[in-house]
Amino acid sequence: MKLSLYQVDAFTSTLFKGNPAAVVPLEKWIDDELMQKLAMENNLAETVFFVPSKTEGADYDIRWFTPELEINLCGHATLASAFVLYTQLGYNKPSVTFSSKSGLLTVEKNGTNYEMDFPSWKPERINDYPEGIAEILGVKEILGAYKYRDLMIEVATEEEVVNAKPDFTAMKKTGEMIILTAKGNTVDFVSRFFAPTAGIDEDPVTGSAHSQLIPFWSEKLDKKRMIAKQLSKRGGDIICEQKNTERLMMGGECVFYMKGEFEIAG
């Protein structure tokens, strides 16, 4: 069996920046175990697979795998999938809709940007969070802890986000995937995302985390349209818009890196 693979840097206009995703288009689903093994072999934050959909209102069904497990939502790999469809596979409709474990996700091509319609996951403030989380993250003071899917920690300044030095061994023991965020200096808000429990110590740019970040900062800043930056080593830029209580938009550019091929015996 031969399968094509495309590697794309998402949420960036510069090669070797943003978040790399491995994109594997399929004609029909292959075994879950094989998809997980391919994701482990690729050893990127996510390997994404999609097939033509039979779901009403969808063009493709989509699934995402980290090196260790399948996840229910991934922004950068969805962005990369749309980019591959438009630039490599001849897709030419105004938008593409994916059916996923988080519902329908529509991506619209707008010039060089790809804008995704995603669920809005407004996190709620919590008081019961892992003991010593400030020390685990390597930050001075926590302004607040919030949660929807992931634990989100707010700190006072962009500099604290940049300078945080997490203890990933201790973090993994908490069982949490953690978003660290603050108001930005030159953009509306900044963040970093840590997921050692999913086999990713720090993710370069995380769309699913912005499903929580966008409603949080939209309310806090009283703004609908915002610009965000993820402050990983590679870095990434995200266009954000809170559409309503249920949906939001996040978008950015992508850069093609390579095309390859798997050849799997049997």
Structure tokens of 37?
């093994």
Residue with tokens 């989380």: 133
DSSP-based three-state secondary structure for 249: strand
Bridge-based pairing state of the strands 19-25 and 2-10: antiparallel
The active-site residue, picked from 27, 33, 46, 263, is 46
How far is 32 from 92, CA to CA, in rounded Å?
A: 30
Q: What are phi and psi of 208, to 5 degrees?
A: -60, -35
Active site residue 70: no
Bridge-based pairing state of the strands 46-52 and 19-25: parallel
What b/e readout covers 229-242, taking b as 16+ CB neighbours within 10 angstroms? bbbbebbbbbbbbb
Active site (catalytic) residues: 46
